[in-house]
Amino acid sequence: MKKIYLDNAATTPTDRRVLEAMVPFFIEVYGNPSSLHAFGQEANHAIEDARYTLASCIGAKPEEIIFTSGGTESNNCAIKGVAYARHEKGNHIITSKIEHHAILEPCHFLEKQGFEVSYIPVDKYGLVDPADVEKAITERTILISIMHANNEIGTIQPIGEIGKIARGRGIYFHTDAVQTLGHIPIDVNELNVDILSASGHKLNGPKGVGILYVKKGIRMLPFMHGGDQEQQRRASTHNVPGIVGFGKAVELAKEEMGKEIEKLTSLRDTLFEGILSTIEFTHLNGHRTKRLPNNVNISIAYVEGESMILNLDMEGIACSTGSACTSSSLEPSHVLMAIGLPHELAHGSLRFSLGRQTSEDDIDYVLTVLPGTVTKLRSMSPLYKKEVK
C-alpha cells in the first residue's frame, strides 16, 4: 500500500543529510561544550557554527540566538520571561485568538497571576488587523505576541506592520515563527520583531531543539536556572547533536527555499483546487494567497474529521483535523471557531500539510482517494440526508 505523509505541520522527517551531520556529535565529539578541554571545545565550535547559521538566516547577530528544547519552551520563555521581567512597567499583554496553545496557555497562566491579556480577533481568513492591535494598546501594555503563520490554516500575518506599531510605542514584540522558519523568508529587522521562536523539527531537523531570538537590549527573565550556558539566559547542557542538526537543517532549507516555495505552492493549489472542484459542499479555510506554501485546510460538510482521518489512514494517507474528537472539551479547534466556521464545518475540517518529500503523484493519489471516502461517510451521515432532500 502507498504511504503518503501529509502532516508536515505536525512534524517532518529528519533529512538524511541532517542526520549524517549529527551522528559524529553522539559518538566522536561528545564533549560538554562548557568544558575547556579539546573534547568540549570542538563541540563548542560546532554549536557556535550552528548559532551563526541560524542568526544569518533571520538577519540576527549570533549572540541574539538562544538554543532551547523547542517551540513550546521558546514560546513559554518569551511570554513569561518578558511578563516577569517587565511587570513593574505594566501587566498587559496583547496576542491573537488563533495562537498556538504554547502561547495561549502561558497567557492563561499569567492571567491567573494577575496579568491582563487581550486576545485580538481575526477576520474570516484568519488575518489579524494591525489597527485592532493598535487599538488594544494601553499604558500598561508590555508585550505583543502574534504568530508569523498559523499552524492550522496557514494564514501569514502582517508581522512587519504590527512590529512597527509595537516599536513606535516601545512595546516588546514577539512572533511565533515555528511554522515559517526555513519555509518562507524571515528577516527580524524587516519584521520589526524583538523576540522570535522557532523549532528544528518543522524544517526536516531533529526534534527536541529550538531557538529564541532575543534582540540585543531586550529584558527577559530566564526560564531555566542552573549553569552559565547561553550567557546565563538558558541553563542546561547543550543538546549538541540537536543544535548541529538544526543548523544543518536551516542551511539546507535556506539553499532550497526558493525552489521549495515554488514546488509546494503549485502542489498546494493543485490539491485544494482539485478538492473544491470534485467534491461538493467543500470550503477552503484560510487565505488563498497569504498562506504557507505547504498548507491546505478544507472543511467538508456533513462529515466529521476524525472519521475521515481514520478512513484516509486506511488508504495510507496521513493528515490531521481540527475536529474536537481528541480533546476532552469536545470543542473544535479554536482557530476554526475564530474564523467564524459553524461547529459542524469546524468538526469536518482536514489539514494536509505538504513537505520536502511530497510529490505530484502523492497529490494525485489524495485526489483519487478522497472523494470515495467522503461519499462513504456522507452516505452514513444524518446531516447529508437532510441537505440532499
Binding range to other proteins, per CB under 8 A, among 65-73, 74-82, 105-113, 342-350:
342-350
**C-alpha separations of 3 from 6, 110, 352, 360 in Å:** 10, 43, 14, 14
172 bridge partner residues? 143
Based on CB atoms, which residue is closest to other proteins, 123 or 306? 306
Based on CB atoms, which residue is closest to other proteins, 156 or 341? 341
Residue 347, interface with other proteins (CB under 8 A)? Answer: yes
Q: Which of 167, 344, 365, 367 binds other proteins (CB under 8 A)?
A: 344
C-alpha 334/C-alpha 383 separation (Å) is 23
Q: How far is the CB of 334 from other proteins (least distance, A)?
A: 14
Residue 332, interface with other proteins (CB under 8 A)? Answer: yes
Residue 372, interface with other proteins (CB under 8 A)? Answer: no
Annotation says 319 is catalytic: no
Q: Is 387 helix (H, G, I), strand (E, B) or coil?
A: helix
Cα angle 261, 266, 271 (rounded to 5 degrees) comes to 125
- The amino acid at residue 254 is K
Q: Which of 57, 107, 319, 325 is catalytic?
A: 325
Based on CB atoms, which residue is closest to other proteins, 216 or 386? 386
Based on CB atoms, which residue is closest to other proteins, 190 or 313? 313
Can you say whether the dihedral through the CA atoms of 276, 346, 151, 288 is positive or negative? positive
Based on CB atoms, which residue is closest to other proteins, 226 or 340? 340
Q: Which of 3, 343, 375, 387 binds other proteins (CB under 8 A)?
A: 343
Q: Is 172 helix (H, G, I), strand (E, B) or coil?
A: strand
Residue 2, interface with other proteins (CB under 8 A)? Answer: no
Residue 98 · residue 335 · CB < 8 Å: yes
Based on CB atoms, which residue is closest to other proteins, 148 or 378? 378
Q: Which of 16, 259, 328, 388 binds other proteins (CB under 8 A)?
A: 328
Helices (H), 280-359: 305-314, 334-338, 343-347
C-alpha 267/C-alpha 361 separation (Å) is 10
Q: Which of 330, 357, 368, 372 binds other proteins (CB under 8 A)?
A: 330
Size of the site for other proteins (CB under 8 A): 27
* Nearby residues of 87 by Cβ (< 8 Å), 6 or more positions away: 115, 142
Q: How far is the CB of 101 from other proteins (least distance, A)?
A: 17
Q: How far is the CB of 204 from other proteins (least distance, A)?
A: 27
Query: What x/- string results for residues 288 through 327 when contact with other proteins is judged by CB under 8 A?
Result: --------------xxxxxx--x---x--------xxxxx
In the block, residue with C-alpha cell 549529527: 22
Q: How far is the CB of 297 from other proteins (least distance, A)?
A: 17
Q: How far apart are the first and last CA of the chain?
A: 37
Q: How far is the CB of 345 from other proteins (least distance, A)?
A: 9
Based on CB atoms, which residue is closest to other proteins, 263 or 347? 347
- The amino acid at residue 38 is A
Binding range to other proteins, per CB under 8 A, among 192-200, 280-288, 341-349, 361-369:
341-349
Of residues 170 through 209, those in contact with other proteins by CB under 8 A are none
- Please report the beta strands in the chain, taking only residues with DSSP state E, as ranges in sequence order: 4-5, 65-68, 92-96, 116-120, 141-145, 172-176, 195-199, 210-214, 282-284, 295-300, 317-318, 349-353
Residue 382, interface with other proteins (CB under 8 A)? Answer: yes
C-alpha 250/C-alpha 247 separation (Å) is 5
C-alpha 177/C-alpha 191 separation (Å) is 11
Where in the sequence numbering do the catalytic residues fall? 325
Binding site for other proteins (CB under 8 A): 302-307, 310, 314, 323-328, 330, 332, 342-344, 347, 379-385
